Structure 1
Amino acid sequence: MTSTATPPGLARFNALEEHAAHTALLEVCASTAWARRLLAARPYADPDALYAESDAALAGLTEADLAEAMAGHPPIGRPRPGDPTSAREQRGMAGADDDLRAEMLELNLAYQERFGHVFLICATGRTAEEMRDAVRERLGNPPEKEREIVRTELGKINRIRLARLVEEDRRRMSTDSTASASPASVPTASVSTHILDTSAGRPAEGVAVRLAARPGPRAAWQELGGSATDADGRCKDLPALPEGTTHVRLDFEVEPYFKKKAEAQQDAPAHRDSGTAVFFPEVTVTFAVTPGEHYHVPLLLNPFGYSVYRGS
């Protein structure tokens, strides 16, 4: 009789101190009831046993437990800042154009108003168009049917995340109970920015900012999405960076901001010598990043010049 050894990644998970294992499971699924059940069933002989226990735990969740699980998932098109997991899973939205993003936002809001919770779908491997079509179709479902679809989609997501959790080469989980970092996390860089209009001495509100990343100096850029500055000139919800990012590009669309400003002030410098033209219609900043570090990159802007720097 041939015995099959437990895969090393799963063996490490089995051996984790209880608090560390519980924390890792909550990063897979935010339901405490689900996490407790999987924790209590350790050790697992093989990944299939882990996945089966996950499915069984999910099937037993109450409505309140399911709501808790869904609360851990950001809306499609809005991965949580600093969360590489949601950014990776929603990668299909990265190439969506502005019209599709706007439509997805409207559909998300309509879905949430109808069903009272975020639209949940296993986004891994899906294109932006496929996710849009799915939310369109599911908006017509009765609540009971939609609840079961949500449970099914959550099960798919949990299985994918559990597979990454116990994969030997991609996760080096520590059995040291004093480790404060989550064993399911791979350090990635994070980015934030704000814009100050130095000609007015105030924050620049409503400037669209797009974020792109690449995993090497010669790799292709991956468009991750974007946001817009708030009344304080800050972008608080830029998409998270994928694992392996080495370079980041921020594109600031400043032309609409200056044109709007000029409409309110007809003698604005942006219009003084060039009719309705804006001297810098956009500003692009590219910089290198190191995994695990945060990069705050402010833009100091005026109609005829700008400067950037790494802030804190």
Structure 2
Amino acid sequence: MATEAPVTSRTTPGLARFNALPEPAATAELHEACASSAWGSELLAQRPFTTADALYAASDAVMAELTADDLAEAMAGHPPIGRPKPGDPTSSREQAGMAGASAELKAEMLELNLAYQDKFGHVFLICATGRTGEQMRDAVRDRIGNSPEQEREIVRTELGKINRIRLARILEEESA
């Protein structure tokens, strides 16, 4: 899986904070990063992590083992590209590339999102961080021709990238 999170080989205050969280609070933070309960439960069971890299590696390993149902649960936590969850700074930040898109591009993304969802039964999922609206549009155009099996593995990879970015944000927090 591609590494999007910074390489960190030492324990940080944010990692120490995460390791020390009571189980309900840690569960809630992991659920904010990824809606798959299997992913969150597996990471929770592996605490404490000695380094951020160990956390990212564990996340990647768990992601590789998620079932189709687990992936569907994870995808259900993501809004369609171009329509971030109202009041959710995470989805707004991650989809910032669509914020300044033209009305035409937003309309095209809506059509492509609907066509994708009709074909695959779930939202188009891409690690949108740092991508422009045009790049996201081109990606959905390219991927809509995939088989369901190909697309499931691409989604798994994209979720892994998103999870690493979100875990890195959790580790930036030094105190609750």
The interval holding the TM-score normalised by the smaller chain is: over 0.9
Counterpart residue identity of residue 134, structure 1: A
The residue that corresponds to 2:11 in the other structure is 6
User: In the TM superposition, what whole-angstrom CA distance separates every residue of 1:168-226 from its partner, at most 9, and x where no partner exists?
Assistant: xxx2432xxxxxxxxxxxxxxxxxxxxxxxxxxxxxxxxxxxxxxxxxxxxxxxxxxxx
Residues of 2 paired with 1:69 and 1:26: CA distance?
A: 9
The residue that corresponds to 1:131 in the other structure is 136
Residues of 2 paired with 1:75 and 1:172: CA distance?
A: 31
> 5 Å matches for 1:19-98?
19-98=24-103
What is the TM-score when the length of structure 1 is the normalising length? Answer: 0.53
The residue that corresponds to 1:17 in the other structure is 22
Following TM superposition, by how much is the alpha carbon of 1:82 offset from its aligned partner in structure 2, in angstroms? 1.1
Residues of 2 paired with 1:172 and 1:79: CA distance?
A: 27
> 5 Å matches for 1:1-312?
6-167=11-172, 171-174=173-176
| Paired residue secondary structure (2:163) | helix
Counterpart residue identity of residue 135, structure 1: V
User: In the TM superposition, what whole-angstrom CA distance separates every residue of 1:123-164 from its partner, at most 9, and x where no partner exists?
Assistant: 000000000000000011111111100000000000000000
Residues of 2 paired with 1:26 and 1:55: CA distance?
A: 16
Counterpart residue identity of residue 36, structure 1: S
Q: What is the aligned-residue RMSD (CA, Å)?
A: 1.0
Higher helix share: 2
Residues of 2 paired with 1:173 and 1:86: CA distance?
A: 23
Counterpart residue identity of residue 47, structure 2: R
Higher strand share: 1
Counterpart residue identity of residue 80, structure 1: K
Residues of 2 paired with 1:40 and 1:157: CA distance?
A: 21
The residue that corresponds to 2:5 in the other structure is none
Residues of 2 paired with 1:18 and 1:94: CA distance?
A: 36
The residue that corresponds to 2:6 in the other structure is none
Counterpart residue identity of residue 62, structure 1: T
Q: Percent identity?
A: 73
Q: CA 1:9–1:100 in 2, change beyond 3 Å: closer, same or farther?
A: same
Counterpart residue identity of residue 173, structure 1: S
- Rg (Cα) greater in structure: 1
The residue that corresponds to 2:4 in the other structure is none
What is the TM-score when the length of structure 2 is the normalising length? Answer: 0.93
Following TM superposition, by how much is the alpha carbon of 1:62 offset from its aligned partner in structure 2, in angstroms? 1.0
Residues of 2 paired with 1:120 and 1:28: CA distance?
A: 14
Give the count of matched residue pairs. 168
| Paired residue secondary structure (1:166) | helix
> Which stretches in structure 2 are left out of the alignment for 5+ residues?
1-8
Residues of 2 paired with 1:117 and 1:68: CA distance?
A: 10
Residues of 1 paired with 2:55 and 2:158: CA distance?
A: 18
